[in-house]
Amino acid sequence: MARLIAVCARTQETVSRLCEQYRIVGNTDYRDLLARQDIDAVCIVTPDHLHREMTVAAARAGKHILVEKPMDLSLKGCDEMLEAARENRVMLFVDFHKRYDPVQQKVRDLICERRVGTIQYGYAYMEAKIIVPRDWLSKWAAHTTPFWFLGSHQVDLLRWTLKSEVRSVLAHSFRGKLEGLGIDTPDAVKAELKFENGTVVTVDVSWVLPDGFEAVVNQGLRLVGTEGLIEIDTQDRGAAGCFSGGTMETYNTNAANVTINALGQSTYSGYFIDPIKEFLHLVGYLKDGGDLESIKGKYPSGEDGREATRVAVAVHQSIAKGIPIAVKQNGCGPDV
């Protein structure tokens, strides 16, 4: 059984609040926690551009790592993280939690069963309310983009679902709303992804939906094949409400749930929670003598994180140059 031991945060105020809430210890310097021998694993949930340094340090300290997506904003950073994990024989697990959504898993199963035939084209979208960059991430939204923050989910989900890698991209970005608020980052990105198996999927990501939109994230997927199609709306899952003084709200009951039994004990579940559970289960397996090679390919790994970054790097190059970009193993270049 895993036990939460300590927490690290940027400010002492946050550290104190979390320590009181969970009855643990903590500080504002992650290096102090990494030096502790009673810590086996860490979860890194810092801003996108700060993952690399902490991940490398954690790996060198011999800690198994759960890191948020995107793994890093560069291939060089991903390679440094992977090298540190390999050299120190620790697990590098990337939190691509969309893989744990039962609706997405059903889509993958249907495709694997060839019910849809050969997937020819598709459309995926993930659009967040403006509160995300304006309020929640106001201190660092300018260090990332909607494609890094949201698009990395879609890239991983598509390559996992289609079991194919992206071959080339053509992308465009749109600016105006956030720049008007003093946040130097795109409002939205549209990217056409061509996969090695011939499938072409258009991915739209945005984080400027109005405050009054009924969910924090609007998201869905449509894939069309030679024998059928699949459509899912992962924003409107059938539960909604509207109350005095407010607007319509939809509830994603697949994401996170708490069940309290007759003894007052809480059980947490949902695709926000399940990857954390799996990570901790695998840490226990490795502590008991399990081998990293035996679980290779069975969880969202650092290699998967690198693939998502590889595609996102190409997307941003395409935006900057206005041309299609080939997605290559060690970098990206014009698709000629």
Side chain identity, residue 213 = F
Confirm if 6 and 25 have CB atoms less than 8 A apart.
yes
Query: What pLDDT is recorded for position 329?
Result: 66
By DSSP bridging, strand 6-8 and strand 25-27 are parallel
Q: Tens digit of pLDDT for each residue in 185-227?
A: 999 999 999 999 999 999 999 999 999 999 999 999 999 999 9
d(CA 71, CA 94): 7
Token pair in block for residue 76 = 């060089």
Ranges in the chain, pLDDT < 70: 329-336
Query: What pLDDT is recorded for position 160?
Result: 97
Query: What pLDDT is recorded for position 238?
Result: 82
Q: Which domains can be identified in the chain, with CATH numbers?
A: 6-96+272-300 (3.40.50.720), 98-256+308-334 (3.30.360.10)
Closest CA to 7 of 55, 39, 52, 37: 39
Query: What pLDDT is recorded for position 336?
Result: 42
d(CA 201, CA 203): 6
Q: Three-class SS string for 212-281?
A: CCCCCEEEEEEEEECCCEEEEECCCCCCEECCCCCCCEECCCCCCEEEECCCCCEEEECCCCHHHHHHHH
Q: The tokens 């407010």 sit on which residue?
A: 246
Q: In the chain, count of helices (H) and strands (E)?
A: 10, 17
Query: What pLDDT is recorded for position 323?
Result: 97
Q: Tens digit of pLDDT for each residue in 78-105?
A: 999 999 999 999 999 999 999 999 999 9
Query: What pLDDT is recorded for position 335?
Result: 54
> Could you give the residue ranges of the DSSP H alpha helices within 23-164?
30-34, 51-60, 75-87, 102-112, 131, 146, 152-162
Model's pTM, two decimal places?
Answer: 0.93
